[in-house]
Amino acid sequence: MRLSESQRGVLLEAARRAIQYGLEHGAPMLPEVQDHPSLAGGGASFVTLRYRQRLRCCIGSLEATRPLLLDVAANAYAAAFKDPRFPPLQVQETTHLRVGVSVLSAPQRLRFRDQRELLAQLRPGLDGLILDEHGHRGTFLPAVWDQLTEAEEFLAQLKLKAGLSGDYWSDTVKIWRYTTDSFEADQTPSQRG
């Protein structure tokens, strides 16, 4: 799903407002879906926050279980205040904060006989991956290809993220691929009247 510039703007503003509201009230704020009917359909998203160009936090959904507008706002709040890898966002960090939104396509299951065949199907720079193996689950957004440019390394690091060894392989490994429509902007406090 490719979003219009207007839709992207609405989603970024929803993310920014959710973060600002969380800083002010310590609770999530969800936007009114009926105000934006083109974003009321189900959607899955990730929200990534970068502070001074470094990853600050990232939270998202892999499956579309709620309206896209609500998903982005909820994930923005969760990224800012609930990512277990980082302390909650502080007001002073908003000066140098960039908010990124990635809207995911529906995941497609990949079929393969072995790891070599799987690697041959990967599209570096384009594919996000979901790995699932007996309760071990992890995902990498397509943006991770910027740091892990080789398919073998991308897959090995995804296995590690899922709690497996980098050289792990089994005939029961399941992999899905997805693409994203990703965009970002600076976090600026919402103007309120």
Give the per-residue pLDDT at 191.
43
Token pair in block for residue 81: 């205040």
pLDDT tens profile 136-153? 999 999 999 999 999 999
Range 153-167 average pLDDT: 97
Does domain 5-105+180-186 fall under CATH 3.40.920.10? My reply is: no
Token pair in block for residue 16: 């920014």
- Tell me which residue of 162, 86, 163 sits closest to 129, measured CA to CA: 162
pLDDT tens profile 67-117? 999 999 999 999 999 999 999 999 999 989 999 999 999 999 999 999 999
Ranges of CATH 3.30.1490.150 domains, the chain: 108-178
Give the per-residue pLDDT at 1.
64
pTM: 0.90
Please give the CATH number for the structural domain made up of 108-178.
3.30.1490.150
Ranges of CATH 3.30.700.20 domains, the chain: 5-105+180-186
pLDDT tens profile 2-47? 899 999 999 999 999 999 999 999 998 889 999 999 999 999 999 9
Give the three-class secondary structure for 99. strand
pLDDT tens profile 165-186? 999 999 999 999 999 999 999 8
How many alpha carbons lie under 13 Å from residue 139 in its C-beta half-sphere?
Answer: 21
Token pair in block for residue 140: 């990498």
Token pair in block for residue 88: 């909650």
The H-or-E segment that residue 185 falls in is strand 180-186
User: How far is C-alpha 103 from the chain's CA centre?
Assistant: 7
Give the per-residue pLDDT at 192.
39
